Amino acid sequence: MEEKILFELGSVYREAMRIKGYTFGSGEHSACIVGATRGNEVQQVYLCSRLVDILEQLEKRGKITCGKSILVVPSVNSHSMNIGKRFWSTDNTDINRMFPGYSLGETTQRIADGLFKNVNDYQFGIQFASFYMQGSFIPHVRMMKTGFEDVELAKDFGLPYVFRRNARPYDTTTLNYNWQIWETKSFSVYTDATDTINTETAAEAVNAVLCFLHKQGIIEYNCHEGYISRFIEGSQLVNVKTVTAGFFVRHAKVSQRVKQGDILAEILDPYNGRVIDRILSPVNGIVFFHAVQPVIYAHTTLYRIIPSDDLI
What does the pLDDT look like over 34-76, one tens digit per residue? 999 999 999 999 999 999 999 999 999 999 999 999 999 999 9
Q: Is 59 within the bounds of a domain?
A: yes
Q: Same domain for 177 and 197?
A: yes
Q: Which residues of 270-280 are buried (b: 16+ CB within 10 A; e: fewer)?
A: eeeeeebbebe
Q: Same domain for 194 and 87?
A: yes
Q: Same domain for 65 and 123?
A: yes
Per-residue model confidence (pLDDT) at position 14: 75
What's the pTM value of the predicted model, to 2 decimals? 0.93
Give the domain-ending residue among 233, 266, 286.
233
Q: Is 265 within the bounds of a domain?
A: yes
H or E stretch at 180? helix 175-181
Q: Same domain for 123 and 254?
A: no
Q: Is 141 within the bounds of a domain?
A: yes
Q: Is 24 within the bounds of a domain?
A: yes
Asked whether residue 311 carries a pLDDT value surpassing 60, the answer given is no
The tally of domains found in the chain comes to 2
Per-residue model confidence (pLDDT) at position 312: 53
Range of 147's domain? Answer: 2-233
CATH number of the domain encompassing residue 252: 2.40.50.100
Q: Is 312 within the bounds of a domain?
A: no
Q: Which residues of 37-52 are buried (b: 16+ CB within 10 A; e: fewer)?
A: bbbbbbbbbbbbbbbb
Give the domain-ending residue among 178, 204, 233.
233
Q: Same domain for 202 and 99?
A: yes
> Cα–Cα distances in Å, from 14 out to 11, 17, 25, 26, 89?
5, 8, 34, 34, 12
Other residues' Cβ atoms within 10 Å of the Cβ of residue 292? 12
The beta strands (E) that lie in the chain are given as: 2-9, 17-25, 28-36, 68-75, 124-128, 135-137, 140-145, 161-166, 185-190, 230-233, 238-241, 246-250, 257-258, 263-268, 275-280, 285-291, 295-296, 301-307
CATH number of the domain encompassing residue 195: 3.40.630.10
Taking the C-alpha atoms of residue 91 and residue 126, their distance in angstroms, rounded to an integer, is 27
Per cent of the chain over pLDDT 70 is 98
Q: Is 51 within the bounds of a domain?
A: yes
Give the domain-ending residue among 195, 215, 233.
233
H or E stretch at 62? none
Of 61-70, 99-108, 131-140, 303-312, the range with the lowest mean pLDDT is 303-312
Asked whether residue 132 carries a pLDDT value surpassing 90, the answer given is no
Q: Same domain for 278 and 132?
A: no
pLDDT tens per residue, range 7-31: 998 876 678 889 999 999 999 999 9
Q: Same domain for 161 and 43?
A: yes
For residues 253-279, give the mean pLDDT.
96
Q: Same domain for 87 and 189?
A: yes
| DSSP strand pairing (124-128 vs 28-36) | parallel
Question: Cis link prior to 74 (omega < 30° from 0)?
Answer: no
Phi, psi for residue 229 in degrees, rounded to 5: -65, 140
- Give the list of residues 6+ apart from residue 181 with CB closer than 8 angstroms, or none: 146, 148
Q: What is the DSSP letter of 149?
A: -
Q: Same domain for 154 and 258?
A: no
Q: Of 291, 153, 195, 211, which Cα lies nearest the Cα of 203?
A: 211
What's the maximum distance between 2 C-alpha atoms anywhere in the chain? 67
Q: Same domain for 128 and 171?
A: yes
Taking the C-alpha atoms of residue 2 and residue 224, their distance in angstroms, rounded to an integer, is 28
Is 13 in a helix, a strand, or coil? coil
Q: Is 55 within the bounds of a domain?
A: yes
pLDDT tens per residue, range 66-122: 999 999 999 999 989 888 899 998 899 999 999 999 999 999 999 999 999 999 999
Q: Same domain for 182 and 254?
A: no
Residue type (1 letter), 11: S
Q: Is 134 within the bounds of a domain?
A: yes
Q: Same domain for 223 and 267?
A: no
Asked whether residue 310 carries a pLDDT value surpassing 80, the answer given is no
